[in-house]
Structure 1
Amino acid sequence: MFIDAPRMKHLDLLHCRLTSFPVSILTLTSLEILNMQYNKLSSLPVTISTDLADLKVLTLASNQLKGNIIQPPLIYLRELDMSSNSLTIVDGIGEYRLLEKLVLDSNAIKSIAVEIMKLSTVLQSLSIRSNQLSSIPHSLTNMRALQYIYATQNYNYDGRYYRQRLFEVTSIRLSI
């Protein structure tokens, strides 16, 4: 499918009704931006992290992905959007060492993994709206690069007022 496109940098496959990940994409080793939003993907190739190692932006919103985020991690990824899937956990998020923007809206995530602190110097925006969060970890106030946390439309927060007050003394904009 992509035989004559080895240097392709950007690929949009929106609304293609894909039910499986086209393995021919894995041959696009120079790919930096991949948008596969609004498909029906339920899994990704195990080798995506090694075959598409140069990916910087990956959008997999509105698919049928379940469980955890992509493992092993795409180490050069700067933006990851996995909103509107069926994710329940974000274990391994700390291994995405260059991640600046993480969008996990409309999943079934119950907590933010503490290991997200490993991204303290790079993560600028975390959007985790419409999940099943009951609280926002206090440790996020110590994330040096973080500018925005969007966490509206979750379960009732324990100590919502308290959390808002904690974030008021930081440069982080908290929306709960």
Structure 2
Amino acid sequence: MHDIALWLIEKRKHQILSPFIHSEHHHHQFFLVLNAARGVVVGSCALNMILGMPSYPANDLNIVVPEGEFDNMDEFITVRLGFVSGTTTIHRIMKGTIQTFTKYTHLGISITLSEAKDKDVVQVIMKSPTTADMSFMTPRSAATFYPDMTFEHVSCLTDTAKRMVESEKFGSMRCPA
């Protein structure tokens, strides 16, 4: 039973990555680089790992790495996967926790890479605009800080989101006009 469970988890991870990383070989490389960087996947991909496929539309692959780990992940995304770097503007509500940001595109698909201002990514996750955004996936696990709410598909705004102004957008969240 243990082997079947592990197989199902691996299958789900690869299903989640497939829209962004087409090669099975690159899936394994991605997890090696992510693990070496002590990085995490956040956003809809992490929620889909926790809740099952496809609970939320995954429009982009969002990666957060600790301070000092940006360059290796950037190189993997651009050189190995062939993505082109685009905007580097950090959303103003995240400037307190993120020091470097890049959005990459390739064939209409997006990956975002954020580098934390700290040696770990916890503050970036904890300063997310909603409780649903406080979910993350590592190469070996997935977790959420609000499991009961997450499994009930309930999310609350945090103090970070309350700093957004009308019609401002962050990730999949938009403040009403």
Confirm or deny a common fold (TM above 0.5).
Answer: no
Query: Which has more helix, going by share of residues?
Result: 2
TM-score (norm 2): 0.26
TM-score (norm 1): 0.26
Query: Greater RCO between the two (CA within 8 Å, min separation 6)?
Result: 2
